[in-house]
Amino acid sequence: MRKIAFLAAVFVSAVLPLMAESESVRTLYTRENRFPDLGKFELGSYVGYQQLDEYFINQIDSKCYKGYFVDKSDRRSDTTVTPYARYGVYDNLTLYSRVPIDFVSSDVKGTTAGFNDIAIGMELLAYEYTYKYPWVVPYIEVTLPTGDDKNHTGIGKVDPIFGIAVGTTTFDVYHWILDGRYDANIISDGRFEGAASFIWDLSDQFSFLAEAKIMEKSPGSTKDVPAYFNGGFAYKPAEQLSVNLYGGTSVNAEEKGHGSVKVAYNF
């Protein structure tokens, strides 16, 4: 019996590292200390829908509507399908890529479809204390000009992004995240953004989340600093599968409302 117990202990010790749980990020505006395991993949997709104010966009970027008449009531709806992949290249380093595809219905320009800017990046778990908190995750992302900037499905140039996220957990169920980033080419002098997220774990499978972000206003905008708000929940119907639903709106921004769903699978 002692030999059997010893062999069972050895077997469990060998198998547990292989069964370490890969986890997908639950937030949209911030990064989280959840990564694929070493040598493992996370594959998934976002499907998002936005209602946008074309009159507001024309005020800050009139070149995109040159030759068009834009009325105050004109709107645009964007549906974006974004397949993505993440890979655990080292214990604390994850590489990722996103390939967004936009379907645009505009009151001004009609209907178009095509690629938005493809993104590649890396996230580093630079610091993580006992019990996985507090933690620090710096990240670098580069978007490639694969989209059509004239139809607002891209910015028309390579765009490096540098950011850092910090977070902690209280009472084992409340997660708090702050995320700051600098977007080098989104406008002429670059743009700073800041975001905060709160996640409440109701169980190992189900979590609620709320988040907000602000950014520098675009040159030419007559409104105050734009702010975006998002809420939703994350659900794990199976160990390797997660499904997240989101919805939100903004103030002083072109967006009039959004909704999205994310499905992720780790293997």
What's 96's domain CATH number?
A: 2.40.160.40
Question: What pLDDT, on a 0 to 100 scale, did the predictor assign at position 152?
Answer: 79
What average pLDDT score do residues 176-188 get? 93
Q: Per mean pLDDT, which range of 10-19, 33-42, 158-167, 179-188 is the poorest?
A: 10-19
Our count of domains for the chain comes to: 1
| Tokens read off for 70 | 């834009």
Question: What pLDDT, on a 0 to 100 scale, did the predictor assign at position 3?
Answer: 38
The amino acid at 267? F
Quick check: 233 and 206 in contact, CB under 8 A?
yes
What domain range is 155 assigned to? 21-266
Question: What pLDDT, on a 0 to 100 scale, did the predictor assign at position 10?
Answer: 36
Q: Does residue 133 sit within a domain?
A: yes
* CA–CA gap between residue 171 and residue 176 (Å, rounded): 12
Q: Does residue 142 sit within a domain?
A: yes
The answer on pLDDT for 18 being more than 60 is: no
Mean pLDDT of the chain: 90
The answer on pLDDT for 32 being more than 60 is: yes
Burial of 18 (0-12, 13-18, 19+ CB in 10 A): exposed
Q: Which residues contact 35 (CB under 8 A, 6 or more apart)?
A: 22, 23, 86, 88, 94, 123, 125
Q: Does residue 15 sit within a domain?
A: no
What average pLDDT score do residues 30-48 get? 97
Question: What pLDDT, on a 0 to 100 scale, did the predictor assign at position 84?
Answer: 98
Q: Does residue 7 sit within a domain?
A: no
Q: 21 pLDDT band (50/70/90 cuts)? A: low
Question: What pLDDT, on a 0 to 100 scale, did the predictor assign at position 19?
Answer: 39
Q: Does residue 1 sit within a domain?
A: no
The answer on pLDDT for 178 being more than 70 is: yes
- For the chain, the distance separating the N- and C-terminal CA atoms, rounded to the nearest angstrom, is 35
Q: 150 pLDDT band (50/70/90 cuts)? A: confident
Phi then psi for residue 250, to 5 deg, are -150, 170
Q: 80 pLDDT band (50/70/90 cuts)? A: very high
Quick check: 248 and 228 in contact, CB under 8 A?
yes
* CA–CA gap between residue 210 and residue 197 (Å, rounded): 6
The answer on pLDDT for 2 being more than 70 is: no
The amino acid at 98? R
What average pLDDT score do residues 14-43 get? 81
* CA–CA gap between residue 110 and residue 107 (Å, rounded): 6
Question: What pLDDT, on a 0 to 100 scale, did the predictor assign at position 17?
Answer: 38
Q: Does residue 211 sit within a domain?
A: yes
Q: Does residue 11 sit within a domain?
A: no
Q: 15 pLDDT band (50/70/90 cuts)? A: very low
Helix-strand-coil percent breakdown of the chain, rounded to 5?
Answer: 15, 55, 35
DSSP bridge partners of 93 = 90, 124
Q: Does residue 10 sit within a domain?
A: no
